[in-house]
Structure 1
Amino acid sequence: MSKYLSAEQVCEIVPGLTKSGLAQLRFTGKGPKYRKPTPKTVVYLESEVIEWVEGTARIGTALAAV
């Protein structure tokens, strides 16, 4: 079973990610799934954070021709 991570812990495992950056990703719906067990508590499942990072894998920087 995956463990729950705080925003600080997510930022520790994703290089370059800050708490404010993570909050912005949460606001725009572009970040990893999260849970809010209380109005002021946000937690993430470690496996879903890793899945989210893996989902950003790229093989090149060129945009596809339209």
Structure 2
Amino acid sequence: MSMIATDREILTPAQLADELCVTTGHLAQLRFTGQGPRFLKLSPRAVRYRKADVEAWLDDRTKVRTE
């Protein structure tokens, strides 16, 4: 994954969906349920993700065994 960059870089939902190999609809559902990475709400329809927040979210989900 090419997420290593400066903390201030931001992604659109489409860009993040492409990076994570999921749909934008899945990201929307994660936002709705509060289970996804932190996001910025720039306007009622403009959502962005800070790369640092996505990295932190991924780190929280890294496992060494199944539960």
- For this pair of structures, how many residues does the alignment match? 61
Q: 2:51 aligns with which of 40, 43, 46?
A: 46
Q: Give the TM-score taking structure 2 as reference length.
A: 0.81
Query: TM-score under structure 1 normalisation?
Result: 0.83
Aligned to 1:7: 13
Which runs of no fewer than 5 residues in structure 2 stay unpaired?
A: 1-6
Q: CA deviation at 1:54?
A: 1.4
Q: Which residue of 1 aligns with 2:4?
A: none
Structure-1 separation of matches of 2:59 and 2:37: 11
For structure 1, list consecutive stretches of 5 or more residues without a partner in the other structure. Answer: none
Runs of 4+, deviation exceeding 6 Å: none
State the percentage of identical aligned residues: 33
Which has more radius of gyration? 1
RMSD: 1.1
SS of corresponding position for 2:56? helix
Specify the code of the residue in structure 2 equivalent to 1:53: L
Name the CA distance, whole Å, in 2 between partners of 1:48 and 1:29.
14
